Amino acid sequence: MREIEYRDALNEAFDEELARDENVVIMGEEVAQYNGAYKVTKGLWEKWGDKRVVDTPISEAGFIGMGIGASMLGIRPVMELMFWSFHSVAFDQLVNNAACVRYMSGGLINVPIVMRGPANGGTNVGATHCHTPEGLFAAFPGLKVCSPATPSDAKGLMKAAIRDNDPVYVMENTLLYGNKGHVPDPSEGDHVVPLGKADIKREGSDISLIAHGRSVLHCLEAAETLQSEHGINAEVVDLRSIRPLDQEAIIKSVKKTNRAVLVDESKPFCGVSAQITTLIQEHAFDYLDAPIKRVCTIDAPAIYSKHIEDEQLPNARRIIEKVLTIA
């Protein structure tokens, strides 16, 4: 079984999509000659050349707006934000031009772009580089948002995002880039993971741990301890996609286990987990044996100190403690 790193899985997705569609262009700061700040685009410029893999100046509003404009003429830019945290200097382009132009034109225009890059805490870089805006962007109708946790999902979701005819914002994670996992060999066929489809990463019967991105890995770790030390059999639901959202998988799992802890690296106030909480209470209220609980990043800007940042973020210990309050 082939195992490759998360970053290489993404790289493989780009390479395959560059080959499949001549309108796909990789753009961003340092993505070409430098091989990407996190080496996600390594080797692509050398293989595909200046036209298909483009280094841009540090001008997020300028180059993202440019990509949106080009997409209106049928180009399919896949644009890297070196950190998703840098979205703030391009916010107008991301939420007005990308998300609203289709609507304001009465459906005459579509914007087939992919915005991608890492969105995570845990690397001691301070509050400006740690934003996790998946809930923020999912709040804009017109946008789609996904957050892969594994190499296989990273490749499959990226390919789906590139082929989608709407703007898709893919939130990766610098702490996952080096993780290895099984990714089907290209010779086995086109590996595409559709947007809007959750994945049960661990079957369980006692409680549903619902998460996305790196939090899924914390849930899996917590589930093992819960099983071995507390006899609690937790199910881990990996959302993978935030919008569209696999509500059916969430509700099905909660109806089975009757308990839910939502794990979300974004902040608690109006985060992704807040939205899921309301969906569960609306659609599975009678199945709940306990209140829905959440493990989010502690509600403050990201702390720098390496001694404490991991405790501000969701982690296995915090998840276990939360689970034990209701199970």
Question: Cβ neighbours of residue 287 under 8 Å, at least 6 residues apart?
Answer: 254, 255, 258
Q: Which of 10, 24, 66, 119 binds another protein (CB under 8 A)?
A: 66
Interaction of residue 69 with another protein, rule CB under 8 A: yes
CA pseudo-torsion sign 319, 320, 326, 327: positive
Q: How far apart are CA 119 and CA 179, in angstroms?
A: 16
Strand partners, 53: 26
> Is 5 tagged catalytic?
no
Q: How far apart are CA 217 and CA 316, in angstroms?
A: 9
Q: How far apart are CA 150 and CA 41, in angstroms?
A: 18
Please, which of residues 159-178 interact with another protein by CB under 8 A?
160, 164-166
| Cis ω before 244 (30° cut-off from 0) | yes
Query: Token match 């100190």: residue?
Result: 305
Interaction of residue 196 with another protein, rule CB under 8 A: yes
Interaction of residue 72 with another protein, rule CB under 8 A: yes
Alpha carbon 188 to its chain centroid, in Å, reads 25
DSSP 3-state of 254: helix
- Answer for the pair 52, 75: CB distance below 8 angstroms, yes or no: no
Part of the chain binding another protein (CB under 8 A), chosen from 34-42, 68-76, 230-238, 304-312: 68-76
Strands 168-172 and 144-146: parallel
Site string for another protein, 95-134 (x = CB under 8 A): -xx---xxxxxxxxxx-x----------------------
Nearest CA to 22 out of 2, 44, 51 is that of 51
Part of the chain binding another protein (CB under 8 A), chosen from 37-45, 140-148, 176-184, 230-238: 140-148
Interaction of residue 29 with another protein, rule CB under 8 A: no
Part of the chain binding another protein (CB under 8 A), chosen from 38-46, 136-144, 229-237, 252-260: 136-144
Please, which of residues 229-258 interact with another protein by CB under 8 A?
241, 243-247
> Is 60 tagged catalytic?
yes
- Answer for the pair 118, 303: CB distance below 8 angstroms, yes or no: no
Q: Which entry of 12, 16, 17, 60 is annotated as an active-site residue?
A: 60
Part of the chain binding another protein (CB under 8 A), chosen from 5-13, 194-202, 221-229, 264-272: 194-202
Q: Which entry of 12, 17, 29, 129 is annotated as an active-site residue?
A: 129
From the CB of 114, what's the least distance to another protein, in Å?
14
DSSP 3-state of 109: coil
Interaction of residue 141 with another protein, rule CB under 8 A: yes
- Answer for the pair 214, 134: CB distance below 8 angstroms, yes or no: no
Please, which of residues 37-56 interact with another protein by CB under 8 A?
51, 56
If the CB atoms of residues 108 and 300 are measured against another protein, the closer one turns out to be 108
Q: Which of 13, 25, 263, 327 binds another protein (CB under 8 A)?
A: 25
Question: What residue ranges bind another protein (CB under 8 A)?
Answer: 25, 51, 56-57, 59, 61-75, 92-93, 96-97, 101-110, 112, 141-142, 144, 160, 164-166, 194-197, 241, 243-247, 275
As annotated, the active-site residues are: 60, 129
